[in-house]
Amino acid sequence: MKTSNVVIKLFLAVVLVMGLYIGTAGAVPADFAVWNGSEWQITITDKGYGFNDPDAAPHGKVRGTTKVWGVMNIETAAEVPTGLITVTLYEAKHGDCVVIGDLVLNYLAGDSTAFVAESDPIASYAPIKGIFYFSGKLDVDVLHKGKVETLGAYQASGVDPDPFEAFGINLKGTTKALQCTVLPPA
């Protein structure tokens, strides 16, 4: 009787260990911390229309290209599917990085080398609304090169007395060291 109990316990232990090994082999969580603090050079191209009077035909076209800098922060890097991704956007002025806004995103799908995120619909001010695709190459556990592009993005804004503008946005960027200095908060 004692021998059969030992054999059963040994068999169950082997099954448990194999189950843990097989069950977690494909479920290793992606480490999004490699994106934390990454620095970006971003080009934003707008095409759309401006309205002096929202009840009238457009008064003209909105066209432009802007180059900005960005720094990515993932608030809960260990729990990206429930965390926010924020890219703080900067304009270079006289060598200083001046904050022009935050691009707040929610993770949708992917792993630490390629993922999709959408602009946060709850954010009180979202300068750009849309879907963004991030891809990167890792060198060991360090982000070697990253890219971002919009899969579809737009902006619609205007508060009286400013004209209303609506336009599509094409955003592209790559990881690159900032060419301006981020000043500490005052």
Higher-confidence residue of 129 and 24: namely 129
What residue ranges in the chain does DSSP mark as E strands? 39-51, 60-74, 84-93, 96-111, 114-119, 129-139, 142-157, 164-175, 181-182
Please calculate the CA angle 82-173-37 and round it to the nearest 5 degrees: 50
Q: What is the pLDDT of residue 128?
A: 83
76/167 Cα distance (integer angstroms) = 32
| Domain boundaries defined on the chain | 32-182
Residue with tokens 């720094």, as numbered in its chain: 71
Higher-confidence residue of 101 and 122: namely 101
**What does pTM read for this prediction?**
0.75
